[in-house]
Amino acid sequence: MRNDESGDLAFLQSRLRRFRRRAVAALFLDAVPACLALSFALWIVWALLFALGRPPLMTFALGGFLAALLFAAMRRPSIAGTARWVDRKAGLEQRLETAAELMDRPGDDDIVAALILRDARRVTEGVRSDVVPLRIGTGRWARGAFAILTLVLIAALLPRRDGRTDAWRFSPVVSFSGPVPDDAVRMPDAQGAPAASGEAASDPDDEEDDQGAQSTTLPDLAEPTPRSWETAEPSRGPDAFEARENAGVLGRNEEEWTAIEAPLGRARAESGDPETRIAGAGSRADRGEGGSSGAGGETPESRDASLAGNIPPGKTTHYESPTPSGGVPPGLREYVREYFAKLRTAR
């Protein structure tokens, strides 16, 4: 009898351990859809937050599977819990559960315990392993997971391009960076950047010292040709600039500028101040009234072009910054500085 009893006990223990392994696998498969749904949702959030970065899809999918595995391992049932589960699934009327409890309490009415173990073995022998089915969960989590997975696959199958040459990506970024300054110039590397022309780059701070030299060393910038304006961006042409200025894009229209500059220019011209002469000539040139050559013939376009020439070699302009803010463009900064200098002088 003792042998029979220990045989029953060993049989039940081995069956319960097998059922428990299967229960863990069933828990894993049940959790896979939910965990994949969560990881894919994270992937989408990541992709939306970091618009230019494409998170690796496989990493997230693997993370989902690992999470499901972790979940199943954490919820691994005890032997008593497994017995309870099998009882419920196979309709054993708590025979296994009672037997599992008696396994842990030897000596508790041994004769009845032996009978219960024998009875439990008898009914368990007829229980197939598939009483704990191994199938992926089909609940609402699963449906959500497959919907999200479809979205992710659509997003993942979109063509991926290099950010430096991708036109689709560039346009939205520029429009997202805020209003485009009118006097900013995007310098193509091949069009007369100091480094490209073979000249030694000068210190950007020594702007006044180099102003005379720039007209000779960088003639295409000192006197911008229509080609350079149009190739940089067609909307930056003189006509477009004037139209936007008239529309008050820069804060002042032509009448306001005239009201500010006319008395100022006359006063300075009478006093013989060269800076005032330059400003006056510049304002006239803006209005298309022509002017003398050299510094006195400087237009806003030529000023900005000369400023653009101070960009260090190999460095692109700020418009390629991927961040929405991008900082204050240097050209705009200079323009604002000059504007306030004029205001101070006017006062």
Contact between 89 and other proteins per CB under 8 A? no
The residue among 194, 197, 181 whose CA lies nearest residue 232 is: 181
Contact between 90 and other proteins per CB under 8 A? no
CA gap 263, 266 in Å, rounded: 5
Contact between 10 and other proteins per CB under 8 A? no
Among 34, 102, 145, 332, contact with other proteins (rule: CB under 8 A): 102
**Minimum distance of other proteins from residue 93's CB (angstroms):** 4
Of 119 and 207, the one with the shorter C-beta distance to other proteins is 119
Of 99 and 308, the one with the shorter C-beta distance to other proteins is 99
Of 115 and 147, the one with the shorter C-beta distance to other proteins is 115
Residue 196's SS3 state is: coil
Of 101 and 334, the one with the shorter C-beta distance to other proteins is 101
- Residues 119-178 contacting other proteins, CB under 8 A: 119
The helix, strand and coil proportions of the chain, stated in percent and rounded to the nearest 5, come to 65, 0, 35
Cβ-in-10-Å burial (0-12, 13-18, 19+) of 239 comes to: exposed
Among 9, 35, 37, 116, contact with other proteins (rule: CB under 8 A): 116
- Where residue 280 falls (left for φ over 0; alpha for ψ -120 to 50; beta otherwise) is alpha
**Minimum distance of other proteins from residue 125's CB (angstroms):** 16
**Minimum distance of other proteins from residue 39's CB (angstroms):** 32
Task: Match 């091949």 to its residue by tokens.
Answer: 190
DSSP string, 78-126: -HHHHHHHHHHHHT-TTHHHHHHHHHHSTTSSHHHHHHHHHHHHHHHTT
Of 98 and 299, the one with the shorter C-beta distance to other proteins is 98
Contact between 84 and other proteins per CB under 8 A? yes
CA gap 51, 31 in Å, rounded: 30
DSSP string, 267-292: HHHHHT-HHHHHHHHHHHHHTT----
CA gap 101, 87 in Å, rounded: 13
Listed ranges 103-111, 152-160, 201-209, 221-229: which one lies at the site for other proteins (CB under 8 A): 103-111
**Minimum distance of other proteins from residue 99's CB (angstroms):** 8
The residue among 190, 193, 183, 195 whose CA lies nearest residue 229 is: 183
Among 16, 90, 97, 217, contact with other proteins (rule: CB under 8 A): 97
CA gap 71, 36 in Å, rounded: 12
Of 110 and 209, the one with the shorter C-beta distance to other proteins is 110
How many residues make contact with other proteins (CB under 8 A)?
21
Of 118 and 342, the one with the shorter C-beta distance to other proteins is 118
Among 49, 74, 111, 247, contact with other proteins (rule: CB under 8 A): 111
Listed ranges 97-105, 179-187, 206-214, 263-271: which one lies at the site for other proteins (CB under 8 A): 97-105
Contact between 13 and other proteins per CB under 8 A? no
Contact between 115 and other proteins per CB under 8 A? yes
Among 14, 94, 246, 292, contact with other proteins (rule: CB under 8 A): 94
**Minimum distance of other proteins from residue 20's CB (angstroms):** 17
Question: Taking the CB of residue 242, how many other CB atoms lie within 10 A of it?
Answer: 14
CB 318 within 8 Å of CB 327: yes
Contact between 7 and other proteins per CB under 8 A? no
Contacts of 125 by beta carbon, 8 Å cutoff, 6+ apart: none
* Binding site residues, other proteins, CB under 8 A: 1, 5, 84, 93-95, 97-99, 101-102, 109-116, 118-119
